[in-house]
Chain A
Amino acid sequence: MKQPWYSFLYVRSPIVKISLAIASLLLMIVLFLFMGLIEEQRMEAQTANWIGREIEKGAELYANNCYNCHGVDGKGLPGVAPALHSKYFFTQRLKDIGWTGSLHDYVALTVAAGRPSKVQSQWAVMMPTWSQRYGGPFRDDQVQAVTAFVLNWEEDALKQGTPDNPDPWQPFLDAPSKATAEEGAAPAAEVTPEPTGPRPPQELFVSMGCVGCHNLDQPQTPTNRGPVGPNLGNLHETAGTHGMDAFTYVHDSIVNPNAYIVEGYTAGIMPSNFAERMSEEEINALVEWLLDPNRQR
């Protein structure tokens, strides 16, 4: 029979076929040996990879959900929520509350269950419940991811305690620190270094912790009330309706918050020491900014 023109390409000899098969087997053995040799390192790299990715995911969750109260850099906001990026937190907090488990478990548990009670709390807001198991928004893997992110501050936090890198923690009232001075976990006298010039209102609104309780975008209406502090979205419209001019009302509410409590809110929640922590100039700028209808973030 006529063979096709490309028939010279066919491998016909069984010996050649068998030799090719043996060569292939040898190649596979070499490849498996190679993989076997680097397998240990590959698994280590993969392990580190997934921990790294978990921290990345946690960072994203933190940036979207936690920084409002615990601060952009995790150093907490005065009166709003405690510092996590803090040497005290990593070294002493568990001893003070008598927690026998690991810090990982403590963080994961606190994230998952929150602190949904205001009894004897020194903080303006309650820590919400985050886990879906208790009605929050996070899946289990997300609780783990934020926990991994928080714990990743450890290396930096342990370097704190020097004058130019103070530990930002504020004393907890629920469990006073039992640390001795030489353990280095005593609170820094003043959290924020003295400012050099007037700080812009946008920055103050975050660094003073206002952002933790007051929503800037939502309007305050009878059906849409801020849960902890009133919303400030429509402040320029409502501030003048309290029997004094808008500027005085807002100014007094910052300097002396308990003088006038909006109906439905409790006195004593908003910190009353803002006059000491901001200059008069800064407060005036902040008030003007808050009353600006076209406020820029």
Chain B
Amino acid sequence: MAVQPEIEKKSILQTVLDAADDVFTRLTAGIPAAEVRRMIRGEPPGRPNPRLKPHSEAFLLHIKPTYYHESVTRFTHTFRLGLLSTYLFFVETITGLILMIWYAPTPERAYADMIRLLSNVPFGQFMRDMHRLGAELMVAIVTLHMVRTYLTGSYKAPRQFTWFTGVILLVITLFLSFSGYLLPWDQLAFWAVTIGTSMAEAVPPAIVGETVNLLARGAPDIGANGLLRFYLLHVLFLPLLLFLFFFVHYYKVVHFGISLPSSEEEVGQDTANKVPADRRVYFLPDVMIDEASFLIGFTALMVLATTFFFSAPLESIANPQSTPLHTVAPWYFYWLQGLLKIADKTIAGVIIPGVLLVLLAAIPYLDRNPSRRARDRRVAIISGIVAGIVMIILSWMGTPYYAVQAAPAVEVVQELMPEEGAGLVREIGYKHLPLGVYDTREHPVTDDPEFNEVLHEFAAAIARYEEKDPTFNNAYGILKITQEQPNLKRITWEIYWVSPEGVEDRFIRTFFLHKDSLYWEQYGLKNFSFLRPATEE
């Protein structure tokens, strides 16, 4: 349109204002400024409702429903867990892409790249911690989302297929986490994944298992090929698959509408899509404000946690020749590790998880009870709770506390100075380890309260195992701390005991600790000691 006649007809000011409103309306995909003002004031939409326009104009919004039933927008109905799962996938994609800049998936570089990322890239550690935290949260949130839909009976007709795609999403999420686990190429990663993939080997018949294992690892053992394959799974194949299934899942969610609280409709009915006009909550602006503020708040909590309380672990570089004591899977696979302790690999690693998965996917088809009300679903809810408890018990059995004790002397040292990770001694660090020889029989006390704590724990651990283990008698320990080099101390643990046959035995383990090395735990207040000006030794 020509500008000249326009100005002649209206004033200049009006023309400019109209043009500005036009631009504004394009940017908001159809909502003029006046309507935005009405939104903010909480007034009802004009007619025809301009707030529906963006849902047909804008690609991202056409996926979202235009309005929701008031009952399903209550926080305690969905806990926003599906939304959160989606958002966490988004967070993982962004942080993951940034991490990829400094990472090359080869055994020669992967671990060194991690170190470079931590020590040479501004905000590199933040990105890594955030990505790791997001991954663990995503597993937790997706699982909770499943629990929520189970408890509200939302998998029942017509949403059976929504549930089924959800199960696929859960499996992909777990595999995503697991494949990412290997990438830092440290001992933790290497051995968890070695054990994990060795379960694939147990798939009967042997030829199939071996082939699957070979395909995953790219060689009989994990090496350069395995790392590359896991990398490609992690950054390309699985995310694409998740993306695809997410849209199938979400299409179904929108198509059927989020199920109403069961008390609001008759048993066997599904009125989610018939929302009376007075119960409608429009996406624009109400649900959008709600979701956006919720996600921003959640992000702030994640950033807070990463700043102060969460540090992704990085142990020694992967060493195929030495299995560290007590290798553990990530926590969300503890249950599997627990199962593996009580049954053999084929049953616990392949058959039981396989059957569980099929059962999980088939729940909507097995549960023929049409009612979604808790009162009518006692069997379903109780079996759900029992399954949850069994999972928790199995997970506990998966931790090193259950049934994998090494010799008492080995365990004592592991408690104070584990082969991998931090432990009390490394946490108090070099400057709290005075040189000398400390014999637990003499109950030595030093000027350093933090070191006294170590000595106390040492004696206490020995006493505890002495009481528990009949093969470990008259035990005592000697801790020797010597200066090995400038800024490097040698810490020797010697434990002596008498076996039931009266034979004296001993265990000696040596570690080195450098003045500058920092060790940290994954969860817990971060170590900010580097902020203090270096104190004189």
A4 proximal to B (CB < 8 A) = yes
Interchain CA distance A1-B108 in the complex, whole Å: 64
B76 proximal to A (CB < 8 A) = yes
Question: Contact residues of B with A, CB < 8 Å?
Answer: 42, 70-71, 74-76, 108, 111-112, 115, 118-123, 125-126, 264, 279, 285-286, 289-290, 292-294, 296-297, 299-300, 303-304, 307, 316-317, 484-488, 490, 510-518, 528, 530-531
What are 7 pairs between A and B in contact, CB < 8 Å? A1-B279, A6-B76, A17-B293, A36-B123, A45-B516, A55-B487, A56-B511
Q: Which residues of A contact B317 (CB under 8 A)?
A: 139, 141
Report which of A24, A25, A57, A152 forms a contact with B485, defined as CB distance below 8 A.
Answer: A152
Contact B518 A45 (CB under 8 A): yes
Contact B510 A152 (CB under 8 A): no
A95 proximal to B (CB < 8 A) = no
Contact A152 B307 (CB under 8 A): no
Binding-face segment, A27-35, A102-110, A209-217, A267-275: A27-35
Report which of A31, A32, A41, A56 forms a contact with B512, defined as CB distance below 8 A.
Answer: A56
Contact A46 B264 (CB under 8 A): no
Contact B487 A152 (CB under 8 A): yes
Chain B residue with minimal CB distance to A43? B119
Q: Which residues of B contact A41 (CB under 8 A)?
A: 530-531
Interchain CA distance A25-B295 in the complex, whole Å: 11
Report which of B121, B289, B512, B516 forms a contact with A49, defined as CB distance below 8 A.
Answer: B516
Contact B115 A24 (CB under 8 A): no
Contact B120 A43 (CB under 8 A): yes
Question: Contact residues of A with B, CB < 8 Å?
Answer: 1, 4, 6-7, 9-11, 14, 17-18, 20-21, 24-25, 27-28, 31-32, 34-36, 38-39, 41-53, 55-57, 59-60, 63, 139-141, 149, 152-156
Contact A152 B304 (CB under 8 A): no
Contact B42 A31 (CB under 8 A): no
Contact A59 B292 (CB under 8 A): no
For residue A11, give the distance in angstroms from its CB to the closest CB of chain B.
8
Q: Is the interface of B mostly helix, strand, loop or mixed?
A: helix
Contact B485 A149 (CB under 8 A): yes
For residue B44, give the distance in angstroms from its CB to the closest CB of chain A.
14
Given known contacts A53-B517, A56-B512, A152-B487, what 19 new A-B pairs fall within 8 Å (CB)? A1-B279, A4-B76, A9-B75, A10-B74, A11-B75, A14-B42, A14-B286, A20-B297, A21-B297, A24-B293, A24-B299, A28-B303, A39-B122, A45-B518, A46-B119, A49-B516, A50-B118, A52-B516, A149-B485
Q: Which residues of A contact B299 (CB under 8 A)?
A: 24, 28
Contact B300 A43 (CB under 8 A): no
Interchain CA distance A152-B484 in the complex, whole Å: 10
Q: Tell me which of B126, B485, B490 has the highest count of chain A C-beta atoms within 10 A of its own C-beta.
A: B485
Contact B486 A31 (CB under 8 A): no
For residue A38, give the distance in angstroms from its CB to the closest CB of chain B.
6
Contact A56 B514 (CB under 8 A): yes
Q: Which residues of A contact B316 (CB under 8 A)?
A: 57
For residue A30, give the distance in angstroms from its CB to the closest CB of chain B.
10
Question: Top 7 nearest A-B pairs by Cβ distance?
Answer: A52-B514, A45-B530, A52-B517, A46-B119, A24-B300, A21-B293, A48-B516
For residue A62, give the distance in angstroms from its CB to the closest CB of chain B.
9
Chain B residue with minimal CB distance to A150? B485
Interchain CA distance A24-B513 in the complex, whole Å: 41
Report which of A21, A35, A38, A155 forms a contact with B486, defined as CB distance below 8 A.
Answer: A155
Contact B303 A56 (CB under 8 A): no
Q: Is the interface of A mostly helix, strand, loop or mixed?
A: helix
Contact A60 B512 (CB under 8 A): yes
Chain A residue with minimal CB distance to B518? A49
Contact B286 A141 (CB under 8 A): no
Contact B264 A1 (CB under 8 A): yes
For residue A26, give the distance in angstroms from its CB to the closest CB of chain B.
9
Interchain CA distance A11-B76 in the complex, whole Å: 12
Contact A38 B513 (CB under 8 A): no
Q: Which residues of A contact B76 (CB under 8 A)?
A: 4, 6
Q: Which residues of B contact A52 (CB under 8 A)?
A: 487, 514-517
Q: Which residues of A contact B75 (CB under 8 A)?
A: 9-11
Contact B70 A1 (CB under 8 A): yes
Chain A residue with minimal CB distance to B126? A35
Q: Which residues of A contact B118 (CB under 8 A)?
A: 46, 50
Interchain CA distance A79-B297 in the complex, whole Å: 70
Chain B residue with minimal CB distance to A24? B300
For residue B122, give the distance in angstroms from its CB to the closest CB of chain A.
5
Contact A55 B74 (CB under 8 A): no
Q: Which residues of A contact B487 (CB under 8 A)?
A: 52, 55, 152
Chain A residue with minimal CB distance to B69? A1
Contact A35 B307 (CB under 8 A): yes
Report which of A21, A31, A35, A152 forms a contact with B292, defined as CB distance below 8 A.
Answer: A21
Q: Which residues of B contact A53 (CB under 8 A)?
A: 514, 517
Contact A42 B517 (CB under 8 A): no
> Given that A28-B300, A49-B518 are known contacts, is A18 also in contact with B293, CB under 8 Å in the complex?
yes
Chain A residue with minimal CB distance to B120? A43
Q: Which residues of A contact B511 (CB under 8 A)?
A: 56, 60
Contact A14 B285 (CB under 8 A): yes
Interchain CA distance A289-B93 in the complex, whole Å: 67
Contact B488 A7 (CB under 8 A): no
Q: Which residues of A contact B307 (CB under 8 A)?
A: 31, 34-35
Interchain CA distance A282-B120 in the complex, whole Å: 56
For residue A10, give the distance in angstroms from its CB to the closest CB of chain B.
6
Contact B119 A59 (CB under 8 A): no
Q: Which residues of A contact B484 (CB under 8 A)?
A: 59
Contact A20 B304 (CB under 8 A): no
Q: Which residues of B contact A153 (CB under 8 A)?
A: 485-486
For residue A104, give the distance in angstroms from its CB to the closest CB of chain B.
16
Q: Which residues of A contact B510 (CB under 8 A)?
A: 60, 63
Q: Which residues of B contact A18 (CB under 8 A)?
A: 289, 293
Chain A residue with minimal CB distance to B530? A45
Q: Which residues of A contact B70 (CB under 8 A)?
A: 1
Contact A7 B74 (CB under 8 A): yes
Q: Which residues of B contact A141 (CB under 8 A)?
A: 111-112, 317
For residue B33, give the distance in angstroms from its CB to the closest CB of chain A.
18
Interchain CA distance A63-B297 in the complex, whole Å: 52
Contact B517 A56 (CB under 8 A): yes
Q: Which residues of B contact A140 (CB under 8 A)?
A: 108
